[in-house]
Amino acid sequence: MERKRHDLIVVGAGSGGYAAARTARDLGADVALVDHGPLGGLCILRGCMPSKALIASSDRVADVREAAELGITVSGLEIDFPYIMRRKGELIRGFAEYRIEGLEEFPLYRGRARFTSPNEVLVGDDVVLEAEKFIIATGSTVAPAAVHGLADTGFIDSDAALDLERLPESLIVLGGGYIGCELGQFFARMGVKTTIVLRSSHVLSGEDHDIGEALTEYLRDDGIDVLTEAQILRAQRRGSRKSLTVLTRGVEGEIEAEELLYCLGRVPNVDGLDLDKAGVPCHHITGIDVDETLRTCNPDFYAIGDVTGRHMLV
């Protein structure tokens, strides 16, 4: 069993972990990073950057369609979806390669991290790392699909939506948070018949009521059917299409589309870390509790980013 020691070990090499590692190194610490997934982090690979690259294309589509309001007539609009996806992929590869170059300046241990004590972490099956301080920056994952019948019916999540090879004819978005709104508007502007289903009276239920109400109407102006105050009871197949049974203001009904997009949140990525052995309690929904300095109840452990269960935005 190989053993190594560093001043600080950062578990997770995404945006938060990389920023923390650079800062600590610049202050003179011996820093190492641990990560088991594709290098680059959620923001670059499956979050902010790919979604914004796609939205840049859909924004141009919206501009062209609204050009007549400014006295500009545009005919023959065509959407080359495969090209849009290729462009997104090329941009993301460039960002990821740049990030990897930065990560390679550090000792980087590849494998799943599992704590065995408050000052030791096992990486994979054959490397034990010791440190005085630790930062947990493992990010988040798509929340489990908790809708009855959804797994058997089949669906895509926000990660898969960013890598589609073709546009579905129609789409139902489950969830009216920022991810559902963002992707729903993108697909609608690409010409997909889009419905967003949510339990609250307006999208972005955690934000100011007036903002949520206004955005709901903006989405409807984009041609999206926003179904509010709707409880999703179950999902099922109807031939080649997929269907949701929903209860809306006491009335049960059914809506269907070619594809279902699951956007009912993300959860902190803490499974398998065995943080309890390090004296750091965590929860699979709320994540790791931290104070205003991002320190956990173990004074030698900090947690940053999505894993704290706070606003999951970079």
Tokens of 47: 């979050």
CATH code, domain carrying 193: 3.50.50.60
Q: How far is CA 243 from CA 191, 199, 253, in A?
A: 20, 17, 10
d(CA 116, CA 134): 13
Q: Are residues 250 and 292 in the same domain?
A: no
Q: Are residues 63 and 137 in the same domain?
A: yes
> What pLDDT band is residue 134 in, cutting at 50, 70 and 90?
very high
Q: Are residues 22 and 67 in the same domain?
A: yes
pLDDT in tens, 27-76: 999 999 999 999 999 899 999 999 999 999 999 999 999 999 999 988 88
Q: Are residues 282 and 133 in the same domain?
A: yes
Q: Are residues 182 and 248 in the same domain?
A: yes
Q: Are residues 285 and 241 in the same domain?
A: no
* Span 275-302, average pLDDT: 95
Angle of CA points 145, 146, 152, to nearest 5°: 65
Residue 254 lies in a domain: yes
Strands 287-288 and 266-268: unpaired
Q: Are residues 132 and 274 in the same domain?
A: yes
pLDDT at 314: 52
Q: Are residues 28 and 70 in the same domain?
A: yes
* Span 193-211, average pLDDT: 94
pLDDT at 98: 96
pTM of this structure: 0.91
> What pLDDT band is residue 81 in, cutting at 50, 70 and 90?
very high
> What pLDDT band is residue 227 in, cutting at 50, 70 and 90?
very high
Q: Are residues 277 and 136 in the same domain?
A: yes
- Domain of 200 in residue numbering reads as 144-264
